[in-house]
């Protein structure tokens, strides 16, 4: 039992370290900000929503529940995606969970891409988004802006809330 627990913890730590090294350490979106972010984006039923570096997929799950979007959660950390899978089952949602590097994920069908990534990762991701996303697709960045992109809308930082940036491909 002791060895099994130790092995599980080692796998969890290694997986999280790998995710952090890839530019997406697991720092979940604050629960109180989820509704605020989703309302800000103004989703429609049937749209395709991707949460990159999804962790426990809390935004993707809530987006599907509230707005009827086709939601995808992408993360490289299998143990964290296991938590997302459990949450997906508990909430009776049908979020597609993908254990893959976000840079190797096809985003061409996405209408909305949500990310809470480090500034260096955002900078590296920008060309992929510009190349793969269709005109009019929205990119939502929690906390960190894209440098050299002009946001369509911004939920400004307040004493209690972190900023959220909304970009539209074709207008950046």
C-alpha to C-alpha distance for 73 and 90, rounded to whole angstroms = 16
Q: How far from 105 is each of 57, 97, 101, 140, 172, CA to CA, in Å?
A: 16, 12, 7, 17, 22
pLDDT on residue 48: 98
Cross-strand partners of 75: 99
Residues 73-129 have pLDDT tens digits of 999 999 999 999 999 999 999 999 999 999 999 999 999 999 999 999 999 999 999
The yes-or-no verdict on residue 63 having pLDDT over 90 is yes
Note the pTM of the prediction, 2 decimals: 0.84
Residues 1-12 have pLDDT tens digits of 777 665 555 555
CATH architecture designation of domain 2-168: 3-Layer(aba) Sandwich (3.40)
Report the alpha-carbon angle 70-59-166, nearest 5. Answer: 90
pLDDT on residue 30: 83
**Maximum C-alpha span of the chain:** 56
C-alpha to C-alpha distance for 6 and 12, rounded to whole angstroms = 10
């Amino acid at each position: 039992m002791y060895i099994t627990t130790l092995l599980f913890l080692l796998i969890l730590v290694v997986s999280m370290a790998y995710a952090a090294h890839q530019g997406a350490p697991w720092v979940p979106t604050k629960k109180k900000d989820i509704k605020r972010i989703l309302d800000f984006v103004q989703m429609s039923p049937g749209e395709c929503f991707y949460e990159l570096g999804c962790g426990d997929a809390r935004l993707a799950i809530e987006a599907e529940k509230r707005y009827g979007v086709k939601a995808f959660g992408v993360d490289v950390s299998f143990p964290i995606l296991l938590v997302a899978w459990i949450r997906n089952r508990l909430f009776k949602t049908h979020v597609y969970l993908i254990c893959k590097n976000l840079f190797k994920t096809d985003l061409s069908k996405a209408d909305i891409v949500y990310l809470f990534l480090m500034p260096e990762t955002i900078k590296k991701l920008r060309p992929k988004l510009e190349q793969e996303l269709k005109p009019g697709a929205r990119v939502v960045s929690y906390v960190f802006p894209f440098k050299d992109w002009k946001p369509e809308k911004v939920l400004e930082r307040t004493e209690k809330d972190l900023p959220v940036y909304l970009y539209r491909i074709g207008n950046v």
